[in-house]
Amino acid sequence: MTDRELAEKAVRLCQKRGAEQAEALLIHQEEKAAGVFDQEVQIDGETATAHAILRIFRDNRGAVIHGNVSSEELLESLVNQAFAILQDTSPDKYLGPADRSEVGAFAGDLQIYDEQLARIPLNRMKEIALAAEQAVKQQDSRTEHLITTNLQVQTETVNLHTSEGFADSYQNTVATLVISAVMDTYAAPMARLNPDDHKRNLVGTATAVTRSLDGLDVAKTAERTVQRLTRMIGARSSPAGEVPVLFSPLAARGIASMLLQLCSGPASLFIEAATLGKVGEAICSPQLTLVDDATKAKGIGSIPFDHEGVKPTRKMVIEKGVLQGYLLNSYYARALRRHSTGNAIASGDARFGVRHSNAYIEAGQSDPNDLVADLKRGLLVTRFLSYSMALSNNFTQAAEGFWIEDGKLSHPVRAAAIVAPLHEMLKNIVAVGRDLDADAAIASPTLLVSKMNVSPLI
């Protein structure tokens, strides 16, 4: 029985048992991985998993069952159990499948499946991982011994069948290359405080994610690894004070990620909606426009339909500082009296979850080099050290980067605390760089915040 037939059968079974609506999502994943350390292949692996998510609705109640499906008997067991637990949930008027008027698949070719990548032999993956290690060594011989590369290729086949008449499938591929390099000649002596910050182990890591084999740029990833490894040589404390803070594209992704979290259906319903503001209100600087685009060709987050069968769209989340809407699935759309934005992701919760697709802060007009040159004093943040807690009145993070003095990068900063009230920080974004690299699932250009409180952490 094909996956499509299995999904169709699952939905029929659910309806036969008494579901008012039912959905069957079948996901086949094949993953291959190759890991290399010190020119030796350490691990190669392949996994093949099949996962089914059944969602049923009756009397405004919903239940989800998920599990491996390898036989029709198993499928019947899954269906039986779904009804057994349905009675344990409370009625919720917002529960239900996607609105019929919103379901559908993207008409064009999103180019998210690469046959060459799907069929890549493990031996070829090992060659690429070894080549990545060589590429790092060629860039910087100091990393002779401590380089790890991991290449993972995932091929996914998704089938969705719903009682409302939606039946479609797609395949996608994604390759992830991670290179880590450690500078061992700077090994730190132990057990005593060492004021000389040159003498620390340094590590640089870069990740490349792409939909196709041709899109995998080993040399560029190796270059980024070495850049991140070597830029912190000589790092020391930052001065303290209220100064402008520049966020590099990598660091600014964290700000984009936080905004996405706060502009999603679950956050808007269950956390104080006033965290940012209401739709139609200015919630941040007019320099900032945040877009979520599920229709981007070869986009890491692109999908022809979401997990409820809703057609994906390109949407403005924030336009010139004004909140335009939230990322929504059908449940949160009904709760907020809006339309689904096609951002549903299946979860163990009958409401399903919400995820972004290809999200980015639009590029501005400023040259990032000019932004540095125009600052008498400031901090350029290249990486956040702490994990983000978006649900707070304040933006509080630990970060590393470079101190800026008289328009130039003065010295690397190992760890600084950067703090500002969240609302103020967002409103004080006074410049946006033109250096947007939108290849990642979340991307941002350089951002300049006019003032934040900076203090040394080390």
Window 295-354: residues binding other proteins (CB under 8 A): 348-351
Residues numbered 351 to 370 that lie near other proteins (CB under 8 A) are: 351
Yes or no: say if 426 and 287 are a contact pair by the CB < 8 Å rule: no
The residues that bridge with 291 in the sheet, in sequence order, are 316, 360
Q: Does 213 bind other proteins (CB under 8 A)?
A: no
Q: Give how many residues touch other proteins by CB under 8 A.
A: 81
Smallest gap, in angstroms, from Cβ of residue 265 to other proteins?
14
Q: Given the structure tokens 């850049």, which residue do they identify?
A: 227
Identity at 350, one-letter amino acid code: A
Residues numbered 112 to 141 that lie near other proteins (CB under 8 A) are: 122
Smallest gap, in angstroms, from Cβ of residue 74 to other proteins?
5
CA 251 to chain centre: 13
What is the DSSP annotation of 281-308? SB-S-TT--EEEETT-TT-TT--SS-TT
Residues numbered 5 to 34 that lie near other proteins (CB under 8 A) are: 31
Query: Of 2, 5, 46, 373, which lies in the binding site for other proteins, with binding defined by CB under 8 A?
Result: 46
Smallest gap, in angstroms, from Cβ of residue 393 to other proteins?
6
What is the DSSP annotation of 126-195? HHHHHHHHHHHHHH-GGGSS-EEEEEEEEEEEEEEEETTS-EEEEEEEEEEEEEEEEEGGGPPPPSS---
Binning the chain into helix, strand and coil, the percentages to the nearest 5 are: 25, 35, 40
Residues numbered 176 to 205 that lie near other proteins (CB under 8 A) are: 180, 182, 184, 188, 190-193, 200-203
Query: Of 105, 130, 146, 430, which lies in the binding site for other proteins, with binding defined by CB under 8 A?
Result: 146
Nearer to other proteins, 48 or 297 (CB): 48
Smallest gap, in angstroms, from Cβ of residue 223 to other proteins?
20
- Measured CA to CA in angstroms, residue 115 lies from 121, 152, 400 at distances of 12, 15, 40
Smallest gap, in angstroms, from Cβ of residue 85 to other proteins?
5
Query: Of 105, 209, 233, 271, which lies in the binding site for other proteins, with binding defined by CB under 8 A?
Result: 271
Query: Of 80, 138, 185, 369, which lies in the binding site for other proteins, with binding defined by CB under 8 A?
Result: 80
Write phi, then psi, for 46 (nearest 5 degrees). Answer: -135, 135
- Measured CA to CA in angstroms, residue 162 lies from 96, 98, 168, 186 at distances of 11, 10, 9, 59
Smallest gap, in angstroms, from Cβ of residue 71 to other proteins?
6
Yes or no: say if 453 and 439 are a contact pair by the CB < 8 Å rule: no
Nearer to other proteins, 271 or 279 (CB): 271
Query: Of 239, 419, 424, 451, which lies in the binding site for other proteins, with binding defined by CB under 8 A?
Result: 419
Nearer to other proteins, 107 or 190 (CB): 190
Residues numbered 393 to 412 that lie near other proteins (CB under 8 A) are: 393-394, 396, 398
Angle (nearest 5°) at CA 98 between 96 and 100: 120
Binding mask 147-176 for other proteins (x = CB under 8 A): -x----------------------------
Query: Of 4, 9, 20, 81, which lies in the binding site for other proteins, with binding defined by CB under 8 A?
Result: 81
Strand-by-strand arrangement of the 359-361 sheet: 322-323, 314-319, 290-293, 359-361, 442-443
Query: Of 18, 138, 199, 270, which lies in the binding site for other proteins, with binding defined by CB under 8 A?
Result: 270
* 381 vs 383: CA distance, rounded Å: 6
Smallest gap, in angstroms, from Cβ of residue 315 to other proteins?
27
Query: Of 9, 66, 298, 451, which lies in the binding site for other proteins, with binding defined by CB under 8 A?
Result: 66
Yes or no: say if 82 and 45 are a contact pair by the CB < 8 Å rule: no
Smallest gap, in angstroms, from Cβ of residue 112 to other proteins?
21
Query: Of 6, 11, 63, 263, which lies in the binding site for other proteins, with binding defined by CB under 8 A?
Result: 63
Q: Does 43 bind other proteins (CB under 8 A)?
A: yes
Nearer to other proteins, 138 or 393 (CB): 393
Residues numbered 217 to 256 that lie near other proteins (CB under 8 A) are: 240
Q: What is the CA radius of gyration of the chain?
A: 24
Nearer to other proteins, 105 or 122 (CB): 122
Yes or no: say if 305 and 342 are a contact pair by the CB < 8 Å rule: yes
The residues that bridge with 344 in the sheet, in sequence order, are 354
Smallest gap, in angstroms, from Cβ of residue 95 to other proteins?
9
